[in-house]
Amino acid sequence: AAKADGRGLHRFYHQDMLIGAQSRKQLEDDLRTALAQNQLHVAYQPVVSTKTTRIVGFEALVRWTHPERGAISPAEFIPIAEDCGLIESIGEWVLRTACHDVAHWPGDVRVAVNVSPIQFANPALPTIVTSALAGAGIAAGRLELEITEGVFLNESSSSEQMFRKLKAIGVRLALDDFGTGYSSLGYLKNAPFDKIKIDQSFVRGAAVPGNRNAAIIKAIVMLAETLGMETTAEGLEVQDEIELIRELGCSHVQGYVYGKPMPAAEALAQLEAQGGAASASGFKVSRSPR
């Protein structure tokens, strides 16, 4: 009986995997169509300076509205795009869109774009970045590329070369989701990051007394400062976290408490509401975090 059950179980799993593969293939096809038919768009989440409490930039986050399934999270479709080779085209489209949008914002406001390790491994990336900057007519310093530790899984000499080329263009580099996965301090030794983004899993609960995340954030901030890098704490959701993160010394913050990802036009409206530029020049509108 046990044997029969085992076979039944096996058959069940097999069929389940088959359905999974089919719907995944379907999603791949749909994603191809999405790119061609403008179902993708970019949302922008404010990045706020803890010192001035002004918006100094936005992170570009890709969005997909599927005609039948509605909104699908990038956490679901980016890995599929990476597997089926679509990430190159999607990533380039996001990059060009973000550069085009930031061109309409005050001159010192930046945009951050997520770059997949697969894009990072493509020797054509510096050419694509240069072309996107030129196409939008923006200074390289207004673009920040967010890279995860996944890039270090590739052969190190080629990634070192890529870092050098990107820095030579003048774009800024941020290490995203720091502290998750296979963090190694060795990565920070050689890579020319301008900023470390502290993953939201450390922010969550950090304001609760006795929680050890605050100590970890503090250590990361000290490390970053010593290396001359900025820090962004990700995923701040409540007021208590704002106070704590400021005390811990993070230079920048990002999270729902400051604003959810929004359309480009709304991002521009928020910048206008704070009186234009990122730097606190002219009149200053005090922003009450929502």
Interface with ligand C2E by CB under 6 A: which residues?
Answer: 45, 61-62, 73-75, 78, 91, 94, 114, 116, 146, 176-177, 200, 234-237, 254-256, 261
Min dist. Cβ of residue 81 to ligand C2E (A): 8
> 3-state SS of 140-193?
HHHEEEEECHHHHHCCHHHHHHHHHHHHHHCCEEEEEEECCCCCCCHHHHHCCC
Q: Which residue has 């470390």 as its token pair?
A: 196
Which one of ligand C2E, Mg ion, none interacts with residue 91, CB within 5 to 8 A by kind? ligand C2E
Binding partner of residue 86 among ligand C2E, Mg ion, none, CB cut-off 5 to 8 Å per kind: none
Q: Which is nearer to ligand C2E, 63 or 275 (CB)?
A: 63
Minimum distance from CB of 169 to ligand C2E (Å)?
A: 19
Residue ranges that bind Mg ion, judged by CB under 5 A: 114, 146, 176-177
Min CB(114)–Mg ion separation in Å: 5
- Kindly tell me which of 179 and 255 has the beta carbon lying closer to ligand C2E: 255
Provide the minimum distance between the beta carbon of 139 and ligand C2E in the complex, in angstroms, as a whole number.
21
C-alpha 269, offset from chain centre: 22
Q: Distance between CA atoms of 128 and 202, rounded to whole angstroms?
A: 34
| Residue 73 binding partner per list Mg ion, ligand C2E, none, with a CB distance cut-off of 5 to 8 Å that depends on partner kind | ligand C2E
Residue 162 or 276: the one with the smaller Cβ distance to Mg ion is 162
CB 241 within 8 A of CB 202: no
Residue 248 C-beta-side C-alpha neighbours within 13 Å: 30
**Alpha-carbon torsion, ordered 129, 276, 256, 27, to 10 deg:** -30
Q: Which is nearer to ligand C2E, 249 or 289 (CB)?
A: 289
261's contact among ligand C2E, Mg ion, none, with CB below 5 to 8 A by partner kind, is ligand C2E
Q: Do the bridges between strand 70-72 and strand 110-115 make them parallel or antiparallel, or are there none, so unpaired? A: unpaired
User: What is the Cα–Cα distance from 144 to 141, expressed in whole angstroms?
Assistant: 7
The CB-of-116 to ligand C2E minimum distance in angstroms stands at 4
Encoded tokens for 210: 């006795």
